[in-house]
Every structure is written in structure tokens, then in C-alpha cells.
Structure 1
């Protein structure tokens, strides 16, 4: 396992920092509300992700993949939640000061979102299948994977939120802000569509 630590770190970093539902929402939050408003989302994800990764490591991910009703239920719930988030982002008020804009994710909403996010399932199932071996201590291996993902979340999510803060400085009119929010909402919908392609809703 430890000889694969560098590849694992690179894998976790790549999967965490690349665009996806979490990072799109982080960008929208940073642009519309500032970095501080992103902290509940970051904290919720940081606490939820290791639990989710460990559950995948003990077989939950494969169980969901092999049990069609559970697979379908998770897919429908995740799709509905992502569409709701896209609607929420698209309907920010467009006020320049953000006082009347829709509210960012709360801590608990961020926790729930990780379990309904198709990209999260893809990341953890992929990591567990690639970086665990049957001949080693599987629990320790999964724990290391969960720890690496957890360490990656705060800096990667912060990067996207701060990028949103930077973009927000140029959103000096309601029309620009509405256009930006609508673009991010469409990207969220696009991420949902793409998630349906590789593994019929889990990839």
C-alpha cells in the first residue's frame, strides 16, 4: 500500500480538484457570498467524506452496484438533489451585494450532498478498487485512502471558492451575476448528465 502512496495522492488530488458538482457549487458560493460562506460546505464535506469512503471500502459501494433497487433509488435521489441545487444557483437574485441572493449550502446539506453526489461514489469505488489488495490489511488500506481524500478537500474546495470570489469582483451588475449563476447551474445539470453515461448513473 505504501509503495502506492504517491499514485494514491495524485489520484485523490486529481479527483478532488477537477470540476464536479461540489466545485461548481463552491465557485457559485464564493462568487455570490464570499469565502467565509463556503466554510460550512467545506466542513460538511470534510467530515462526511471519510465516513463515506470507509463505508464504500467495507462493501457498500459494490452492494449498491449489484442491487438494482438501491442503485436506482440512489440515482434518483442524487439526480433530484442536483437538479434542486442547479435551480437554486440559477435563481440567485443577481443583486451585486448578494444580500438577497439564495443561501449557500449549510453544514448538514453539504453532508447529505456527498452521499447523493455521483462523482463521490465514482471516486471512492475507483480508489478502493485500484489501491487495495486482498493480501493486505484492507481496513488499513481503506483508512489511508479515506485520510488522503479528507486532507485534499479543504485546499481543493477552497481553491474553487476563492476562484469564485475573484470572478465575483467582475460581476458588477445584476445581469452579469445572473448570467454567471445560470452558467454554473447549466454546468451542474451537465455534470448530472455526464454522470449517467459510464456506469448507468454511478460514474
Structure 2
């Protein structure tokens, strides 16, 4: 079964990624601040559906590949570490715009909100690379059933992502107003999340 250390590692990676600005967060925040919490929650349901597509599809394929080529995990480990370092740089570099900045967007129907949330996640390169390059390196071939390990770890990532995003959707309006008046807090958030991603990348590269 899955080691506790692997679960903790996935939780830390999931936190670092979900709290760093990206397409999912930008879409959810824009809908929540412009159209209300209900619109944000419907959009989040679409994002959740996208996670499930990646979770099932990636693990069904990866289970076969890793069983046939176990040495591929080393390559993926390095690629995943480099990707996390790139995310850290994207988070820390100067000149970025806060995802909580208020934006004017036209209102959409619940169906469109759901579909847009789904497509935003499916077309999100962060999520694609997460399932292909990052999560597989927490799988231990010696503990058996690669597919089950991948599904469990993927569910952990999805749970973390949805809980954090739900909190952001509920609090988006208040957070946007708070950060608009306190830009130094935005810089602190970027520094914290960027440093966390960089530390995780170094740890994964040398594990």
C-alpha cells in the first residue's frame, strides 16, 4: 500500500501547486469575485471533473508503463523536480499580477461555468505535468499494485486541491479587497509558495 511519507509528499506538492497562481485559480477567482460564490462553486465542480479525467486516464496508462520500464521513474523524478523549480521561478519572479485582482467578466450560465471549469483544468499544463512527471515519483514499485498507489495518491492530490480551491472561492471577495489594500501581503504569499516549491524540487531531485 502507499507509504505515509509518500502521502505527506503529495500533500506538500499539492499545496505548493494549488497555492501558486495558475489557470484554475485565476478562473475560479475571476468568477467568484465577478459573479458570486455560487458561480465559483459551479466552476469548481467543473475543475473537479477535470481532475478525475486526469486521475483515471493517467494512472491506467502509467500502471502499464512503469511495470514494463521501472527505470523510467528516475527520468520522471528529475523532470518533475525541474518542473517544480520552473513553477517556483514563475511564482517568485518580479512583475507578476495578483490572481485576486478584480476583473470585469460577463456573467455565464451554470452549464457554461461548469464546462469552462472543466476545460480550464483539462488544458492546464500544470495539472498535466503534475500527473505525468510529479505524482508518479511517489510510487514505490516494491509495495505492489502500481495502479492502486497511483489512484490513492491522485485522490489525495484532488482532495487537497479541491479543499483549498473551495476556501479560495468562498473567501475570494474578501481576499481581493484585502490584498488590494496591502500589496506587501501579496509579495509574502509569492515568496512563501515559491520557496516551498523550490524546496520540494530540491528534495525530490536528491531523494
TM over 0.5: yes
2: CA distance between counterparts of 1:108 and 1:56? 18
Asked if 1:109 is matched to 2:123, the reply is: yes
CA distance in 2, matches of 1:89, 1:50: 37
Residues 78 and 186 from structure 1, CA distance in 2 versus in 1: closer, same or farther, beyond 3 angstroms? Answer: same
Of 46, 49, 55 in structure 2, the residue corresponding to residue 43 of structure 1 is: 49
1:194–1:77 Cα change, 3 Å: closer
Change beyond 3 A, Cα 1:53–1:149: same
Give the aligned partner of residue 165 of structure 1: 169
Task: State the SS of the aligned residue for 1:143.
Answer: helix
CA drift of 1:154 comes to 4.3
Counterpart of 1:126 in structure 2 is 138
From 140, 149, 152, the counterpart of 2:153: 149
CA contact (8 A) 1:79 1:192 kept: yes
Q: Decide whether aligned partners of structure 1 residues 143 and 76 sit closer, same or farther in structure 2, where only a CA change above 3 A counts.
A: closer
C-alpha separation in 1, matches of 2:181 and 2:87: 26
1:49 partner SS: helix
> How big is each residue's C-alpha offset from its partner over 1:117-164, in whole Å with a ceiling of 9 and x where there is no partner?
4x97454322334631xxxxxxxx122223323444544322101222
Partner of 1:137: none
Q: Does 1:99 align with 2:111?
A: no
TM-score normalised by the chain length of structure 1: 0.58
**Structure 2 unaligned blocks of 5 or more:** 33-39, 106-116
- Point out where structure 1 has 5 or more consecutive residues left out of the alignment: 133-140
Distance 1:43 1:177 in 2: 34
How many residues align? The count is 179
- Tell me if structure 1 keeps the 8 A contact 2:59–2:150: yes
Residues 25 and 165, structure 2, Cα contact 8 Å, conserved in 1: yes
Distance, in Å, in 2 between the alignment partners of 1:143 and 1:76 is 25
